[in-house]
Amino acid sequence: MSKIILVTGGAGFIGSNFILYFLKNHKEYSIINFDSLTYAGNLSNLSSIEDNSNYAFVKGDITNSKDVKNVFEEYNPDFVVHFAAESHVDRSILDSEVFIKTNILGTNNLLTYSREHNIQKFVHISTDEVYGSLGNEGFFTEENNISPNSPYAASKASSDLLVRAAYKTYGQNVNITRCSNNYGPYQFPEKLIPLMINNAVNDKKLPVYGDGKNVRDWIYVEDHCRAIDAVLHKGKPGEVYNIGSSNEWTNIDLIKLILKKLGKSENLITYVKDRPGHDRRYAIDSSKIREELGWKPQVEFQDGINNTVEWYLNFKKWTENIVNGEYLEYYRKQYSER
């Protein structure tokens, strides 16, 4: 009998990439995708596996105990891989409430039912943003203190602490992963790379926050999925694993690279008011997962970014479907006063 993984947030960017990757590489598992389909959830990402007998979608909200109870009772999963979250820093600055509810209360609900159902392992997908910000030197290791600076990061750090407490107090088998910035297909166009591609393609201005010299450490989404696979199968109980590709870029250099690939003018670049509490630099030390679990990134940045730009050019309809009333209202609020 196949083992069952309950994947939360599987209709989002990383969750849908994970499900596609995992079903392709592991015939011995079934996946239940549990997602409430917020503005960021998009089932069309998974249309190619709709008829796969190892896959089922269940619409439900992780903050609703009844929904969570029902999915555990109906499917009796062996593992939980928890992606579902509010994930965008700028939205958390505009309104943090849903971040507290989903990221903290939702995670607590899942931990409670995982405990009641004796789940074999709970993999919590967290972020390097919980560590705060770096100066010009140094890297985040798993030993760094948690020091979040945005409401989003604070809500993720809180959820990490609940996962840790579940291990320490109840002996639940958990792992926490903390990955750097992901890029690739199916990323919502509010995030830097797809936003810049989309704006440039449409000859719209490219809003660069502050001086554009903030640094992010970019990893191709499929490399992140492979790392989660390694943690699910080989991670030691209670451990945290950082995931990163050692690929640091200033925002402005990355934006110029994208413009070059699209053959668009740098005149589209517009410097705007900085993000409040804007973290200066993220950089991951991922030696623990590399040495202990034998994972390493496989996708070179130039290949990954070419693939991503090409994907957004080939799948313009995907983006057009997302640029709806809710998104335009968010975009107006976000950029009108900058």
Taking the least distance from each CB to ligand DAU, the nearer of 205 and 296 is 205
Asked if 129 touches ligand DAU (CB under 6 A), the answer is yes
152 is an active site residue: yes
Nearest-approach distance from CB 224 to ligand NAD, in angstroms: 7
174-179 and 240-243 as β-strands: parallel, antiparallel, unpaired? parallel
3-state secondary structure of 12: coil
> Contacting ligand DAU (CB under 6 A), which of 81, 166, 208, 269?
208
Contact 190, 182 (CB under 8 A): no
Contact residues toward ligand NAD (CB under 6 A) are 8-9, 11-15, 35-38, 40-41, 61-63, 83-85, 87, 102, 106, 125, 127, 156, 179, 181-182, 188
- Asked if 259 and 200 count as a contact pair (C-beta separation under 8 A), the reply is yes
Annotated catalytic residue, options 55, 113, 131, 152: 152
| Site residues (CB under 6 A) for ligand DAU, limited to 273-312 | 275, 282
Contact status: 18 vs ligand DAU (CB under 6 A): no
Report the residue number, 89 or 221, with the smaller CB distance to ligand DAU.
89
The least distance separating ligand DAU from the CB of residue 233, rounded to whole angstroms, comes to 23
Residue nearest to ligand DAU (CB): 127
> What whole-number distance in Å separates Cα of residue 316 and Cα of residue 331?
18
Would you list the DSSP string of 229-279?
HHHHHHPPTT-EEEE--S-EEEHHHHHHHHHHHHT--GGGEEEEPPPTT--
Binding track over 209-238 against ligand DAU, x by CB under 6 A:
x----x-x----------------------
Q: Tokens 């997908």 correspond to what residue? A: 125
Closest approach of ligand NAD to the CB of residue 122, in Å? 13
Contacts (Cβ under 8 Å, ≥6 apart) of 266: 256, 259
**What is the radius of gyration, based on Cα positions, of the chain?**
19
Q: By CB under 6 A, name the one of 119, 192, 221, 269 that touches ligand DAU.
A: 192
- The answer to whether residue 67 is catalytic is no
Contacts 24+ apart (CB under 8 A), 64-69: 64/109, 65/109, 68/109, 68/110, 68/113, 69/113
**Residue 245, class by beta-carbon neighbours within 10 Å (0-12 exposed, 13-18 middle, 19+ buried)?**
buried
Q: Which of 128, 217, 222, 223 is catalytic?
A: 128
CA distance 75 to 79: 11
Calculate the CA 127 to chain-centre distance: 8
Q: Site residues for ligand DAU, window 81-120 (CB under 6 A)?
A: 87-89
> Choosing among ligand DAU, ligand NAD, none, which partner's interface includes residue 208 (Cβ < 5 to 8 Å by kind)?
ligand DAU
Angle among Cα 115, 120, 126 to the nearest 5 degrees reads 80
Choose between 30 and 36: whose C-beta lies nearer to ligand NAD.
Answer: 36
266 carries an active-site annotation = no
Which amino acids are annotated catalytic? 128-129, 152
Q: Report the interface residues with ligand DAU, using CB under 6 A.
A: 87-89, 127-129, 180-181, 191-192, 195, 207-209, 214, 216, 251, 275, 282
